[in-house]
């Protein structure tokens, strides 16, 4: 069985006494991206994250998949978790709100398959919607209106939007990732881009809404590490209408990326620099005026602390770690398929032979672009 560099260091310091190092375990992350949009079912990502079970403690697992709703690809697929169950009064409130603000093209329960390991959970439902044009304020886009709708639902209490992008969805909860995969039977879904997470919460509670991935619109993120700048990031985001309600530091990452790229029009490269920038002395040495300006303008969007992330969006994916590389990520390519993982073993399980294998430098963004989708 493989052991990560991080766990090796922990055990070297604390020894092999389980209680000594269990609180400093790290989360596990995996991403699979086919740039030609060739789809695979969820069984592959299930196995890739399952092999990293030593990184979790059963308090959170989850998956995001793209390309799973081709029959509703022009609608926002809104996955909602209702904490109070199927007969909760909040469902009527949320659905009345959606009827007021959106055109609901279709809605149904998200299929679940209780097991002996996870016999029950919250109530999950999905809605395929588009904001009503007459309800969109002047100067706002359809995406702006959808973000407002998501934030409004998340602040109602006992109802939380798990994902809200077009032709994508998130499936997550409390349990080891393979148990969550079986609960939602993700092998029944086929997608061209997948991310997965195995959680070991340290500073935040282990609850269904706190499992990864975290999303807004088409952006989804899984994260290994700790965001020490959470308070600063959260207050900055609140000035622009993003509200963190899911009790975890990772939530800010998808919001920051959405703000930088969609709202402010930054390139993916510049957004990555803002989130994990060079040191000031390096910027001065390089005489990089653009980088200097970005650091000055977006100081409150800088992500501090040890982190490794895989972030997906409708145009592709990014892999990014902190500039000190305290949470390394391994990347690989096999033809038009890219992999990212906190453990090389997950990649080798799926593809024993690879065309390229590397670990990005600290603060170095790996940017993977999807091929343009053919217009039917």
pLDDT tens string 170-192? 999 999 999 999 999 999 999 99
Question: Long-range contacts: 82-89, Cβ < 8 Å, 24+?
Answer: 82/122, 82/123, 82/124, 82/125, 82/158, 82/159, 83/122, 83/158, 83/159, 83/160, 83/208, 83/209, 84/123, 84/158, 85/122, 85/123, 86/123, 88/123, 88/158
Name beta bridge partners: 79.
126, 163
Q: Which residues contact 371 (CB under 8 A, 6 or more apart)?
A: 35, 36, 37
pLDDT of residue 57: 86
74 or 10, greater pLDDT: 74
Residues 284-324 have pLDDT tens digits of: 767 788 889 999 999 999 999 999 999 999 999 999 999 88
Model's pTM, two decimal places?
A: 0.91
Q: Could you give the domains of the chain?
A: 69-166 (3.30.70.260)
Distance CA 144, CA 168 (A): 18
**Cis omega before residue 356 (within 30°)?**
no
> Hey, which residues are catalytic here?
27
pLDDT tens per residue, range 53-108: 888 888 889 999 999 999 999 999 999 999 998 999 999 999 999 999 999 999 99
Q: Residue 225 and residue 203: Cα distance in Å, rounded?
A: 11
% of the chain with per-residue pLDDT over 90: 77
| Range 235-273 burial, b when 16+ CB lie within 10 A, else e | ebbeeeebebebebbbbbbbbbbbbbbbeeebebebbbb
Tokens representing residue 282 in the block: 């390096």
* 331-358 tens-digit pLDDT: 999 999 999 999 999 999 999 999 999 9
Q: Which of 221, 227, 228 is nearest to 319 (CA)?
A: 221
- Residues pairing with 175 in the sheet: none
- The C-alpha atoms of residue 119 and residue 122 are separated, in whole angstroms, by 11
Q: What pairing do the DSSP bridges indicate for beta strands 28-34 and 193-198?
A: antiparallel
pLDDT at 202: 65
Q: How confident is the model at residue 26 (pLDDT cuts 50, 70, 90)?
A: confident
pLDDT value for 10: 39
Report the distance separating Cα 342 and Cα 352, nearest Å.
16
The pLDDT of residue 25: 56
The span from the first CA to the last CA of the chain, in angstroms, equals 47
pLDDT confidence band for 126 (50 / 70 / 90): very high
pLDDT surpasses 90 at 247 = no
In this predicted model, what pLDDT tens digit does every residue of 249-273 receive, in sequence order?
889 999 999 999 999 999 999 999 9
Report residue 14's pLDDT band, with 50, 70 and 90 as the boundaries: very low
Q: Identify the pLDDT of residue 22.
A: 43
β-sheet bridge partners, residue 340:
31, 331
pLDDT digits (tens, 9 = 90+) for 135-167: 999 999 999 999 999 999 999 989 999 999 999
pLDDT in tens, 226-241: 889 999 999 999 999 9
Going from the C-alpha of 75 to that of each of 50, 70, 79, 180, the distances in angstroms are 32, 10, 12, 26
Per-residue confidence band for 15, with pLDDT thresholds at 50, 70 and 90? very low
- Give the length of the chain: 376
């Amino acid at each position: 069985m493989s052991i990560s560099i991080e766990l090796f260091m922990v055990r070297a310091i604390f020894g092999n006494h389980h209680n000594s190092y269990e609180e400093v375990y790290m989360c596990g992350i995996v991403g699979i991206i086919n740039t030609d949009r060739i789809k695979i079912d969820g069984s592959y990502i299930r196995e890739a994250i399952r092999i990293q079970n030593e990184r979790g403690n059963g308090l959170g697992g989850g998956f995001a998949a793209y390309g799973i709703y081709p029959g509703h690809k022009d609608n926002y697929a809104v996955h909602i978790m209702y904490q109070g169950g199927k007969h909760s009064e909040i469902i009527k409130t949320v659905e009345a709100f959606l009827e007021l603000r959106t055109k609901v093209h279709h809605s149904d329960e998200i299929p679940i398959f209780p097991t002996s390991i996870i016999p029950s959970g919250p109530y999950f439902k999905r809605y395929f919607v588009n904001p009503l044009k007459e309800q969109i304020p002047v100067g706002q886009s359809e995406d702006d209106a959808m973000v407002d709708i998501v934030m409004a639902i998340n602040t109602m209490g006992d109802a939380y939007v798990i994902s809200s992008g077009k032709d994508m969805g998130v499936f997550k909860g409390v349990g080891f990732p393979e148990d969550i995969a079986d609960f939602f039977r993700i092998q029944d879904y086929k997608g061209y881009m997948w991310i997965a997470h195995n959680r070991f919460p340290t500073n935040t509670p282990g609850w269904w809404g706190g499992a990864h991935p975290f999303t807004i619109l088409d952006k989804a993120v899984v994260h290994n590490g700790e965001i020490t700048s959470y308070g600063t990031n959260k207050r900055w985001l609140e000035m622009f209408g993003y509200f963190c309600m899911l009790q975890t530091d990772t939530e800010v990452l998808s919001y920051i990326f959405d703000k930088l790229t969609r709202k402010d029009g930054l390139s993916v490269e510049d957004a990555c620099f803002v989130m994990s920038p060079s040191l000031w002395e390096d910027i001065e040495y390089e005489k990089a005026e653009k980088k200097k300006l970005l650091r000055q303008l977006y100081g409150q969007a800088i992500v501090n602390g040890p982190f490794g992330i895989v972030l997906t969006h409708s145009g592709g994916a990014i892999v990014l770690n902190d500039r000190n590389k305290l949470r390394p990520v391994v990347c690989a390519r096999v033809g038009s398929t890219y992999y990212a993982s906190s453990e090389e073993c997950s990649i080798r399980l799926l593809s024993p032979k690879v065309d390229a294998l590397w670990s990005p430098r600290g603060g170095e963004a790996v940017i993977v672009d999807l091929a343009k989708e053919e217009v039917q």
